Structure 1
Amino acid sequence: MQTGHVVYKVRDLDAAVADFRSRGFVVEYGAVRRPKNALIYFSQGPYLELLVRTGMPRPVLRALAALPANPARRFNAWERGPQGLCGLCLEGKDKELDAVVARLHGRGLLVSPTRVDPHGRHLRYRAFFPADLDLPFFMTHFSVDPRPADLTHPNGIRSIAQVDLPLEGPRRTFVNRLCDDGVLRCVPADGTMRVVFDDGTELRGPGPGAGGRPAGHAGR
């Protein structure tokens, strides 16, 4: 699998979009009406998702919480957490996602959403959110690739060059076996979640940030 995208929790989506645009990034909302996220795409490699809320209705979260693996914990952590880096998604083919679900014995939530983006494209995919919050979540490639061709952001950045993800030993081994794309770097659990752009600037957090432990932000 490949490093798909990094989730950055925000308290105010419009303010976050304005902030990242002021830093020279091209940012687009995830939907035309009532967006819950915004995206900073790159032509190659992972992108950045600015997330203000998961969109999961409270009755659904309560129902999920009643399940043995309690997959709602991840969404609740994102909803209630502070602003900053808070999650990582690994992306691959359908058979790769199925293999991950099997290796984790299905402990988590498997969904098949569709999102209509501002360009009118229906983005279909499957996603798996493990019950283990320290693991990344997983998804298939979009049915339509939303990444723009040959994009250089106004600030000169063209890609995310590196993502540091803090994980303890066995989980680090598990993720390293799944993803060796040269972008993801699993670091010890006491390390810092970090996104490094190709110009050397970065977003950084003070602690673990894989699934439910949001990390802070040190900007450009």
Structure 2
Amino acid sequence: MLKCSHILCKVDDIRAAVGDYSSLGFSVEWGSAPERAHNALIWFDDGPFIELFQLPSRFALLRWPFATIFGTAAGERLARWARPGEGWRDLAVETEDTELAGVRAALRRKNVRVSRVMKGKRVRPDGGTVRYQFLASSPAELPFVVSAYDPPQRPERVVHPNGARGVARVRMGVSAADRASFDALVGEGRWLSAEPAATTGVLGVELHGLAADLDPRRLHGAVLTRGPVNDLGTVDDLGRRTR
């Protein structure tokens, strides 16, 4: 029903993170005007994108007001996002619709605990306004749901100097307790590979096309590695296609 939208990496300093990912050969797009942006996006021509975001730990204090307005699942999600530390923090799954009321009703029929639908917007660096909806699932380790962006945001053409062409696989650890809800949300999906784990969360992301391994010291906690080129071969240690 839902497909992988994007993978979120929490960073302590968004400007330092954008600088590091740019130095690693990614084309990074600010989420809003750079002087006030708290997030940045790494797009690909197709499939999931990567979002870098910064959120001070003091935002965890808003958990209970947020829960009162939007539901317990929303408060849990905000607290998870605000938790200290860098690295993969969440996974979003999406629908092609710009409204989430129908998705919410369908998930509730499958006994997935979700928040009320929340409406968001951001102003892009070019001044255009982007609107979207999202809802949080519970427990907060499960993916959350986003609507289609209005207007659509994916660039017509994306080129990364390091050769990255797209997400090959998102390795997602899923606990036994969360498996039924996870399957109701997305299951395996085209880009997701679910693995048994003690706790639910993103384990790593593999990319198509990377010419070389990435320096982990500049990834701000994210596990980001080379994946298969296509179904005909994989990339060896020298970036060559192998059978």
TM-score, length-normalised on structure 2?
0.74
Larger deviation: 182-191 or 145-154? 182-191
The amino acid that maps onto 1:42 is: F
Corresponding residue to 1:76 among 70, 79, 98: 79
Shift of 1:174: 3.4
Query: Does the C-alpha gap of structure 1 residues 107 and 2 become closer, same or farther in structure 2, counting only changes over 3 Å?
Result: closer
Counterpart of 1:22 in structure 2 is: 23
Matched, 1:198 2:205: no
Counterpart of 1:138 in structure 2 is: 145
Query: Does the C-alpha gap of structure 1 residues 183 and 27 become closer, same or farther in structure 2, counting only changes over 3 Å?
Result: same
Shift of 1:199: 2.7
The amino acid that maps onto 1:185 is: S
Report how many residues are paired.
210
User: Contact 1:9–1:85 at 8 Å: present in 2 too?
Assistant: yes
Sequence identity (%): 28
Mapped to 2, the partners of 1:3 and 1:146 lie a distance apart of 16
Counterpart of 2:125 in structure 1 is: 118
Provide structure 2 residue ranges, at least 5 long, that are not aligned to the other structure.
226-243
User: Contact 2:87–2:222 at 8 Å: present in 1 too?
Assistant: yes
Counterpart of 2:193 in structure 1 is: 185
User: Contact 1:196–1:202 at 8 Å: present in 2 too?
Assistant: no
Query: Does the C-alpha gap of structure 1 residues 55 and 102 become closer, same or farther in structure 2, counting only changes over 3 Å?
Result: farther
Mapped to 2, the partners of 1:97 and 1:153 lie a distance apart of 36
Query: Which of the pair has more CA radius of gyration?
Result: 2
Counterpart of 1:147 in structure 2 is: 154
Extract structure 1 runs of 4+ deviating beyond 4 A: 54-60, 65-68, 200-203
Helix, strand or coil: the match of 1:125?
strand
Query: Does the C-alpha gap of structure 1 residues 170 and 60 become closer, same or farther in structure 2, counting only changes over 3 Å?
Result: closer
Helix, strand or coil: the match of 2:63?
helix
Helix, strand or coil: the match of 1:175?
helix
Corresponding residue to 1:217 among 222, 235, 238: 222
Shift of 1:164: 1.1
Superposition RMSD in Å:
3.1
Helix, strand or coil: the match of 2:181?
helix
Mapped to 2, the partners of 1:97 and 1:139 lie a distance apart of 11
Provide structure 1 residue ranges, at least 5 long, that are not aligned to the other structure.
206-214
Mapped to 2, the partners of 1:183 and 1:86 lie a distance apart of 17
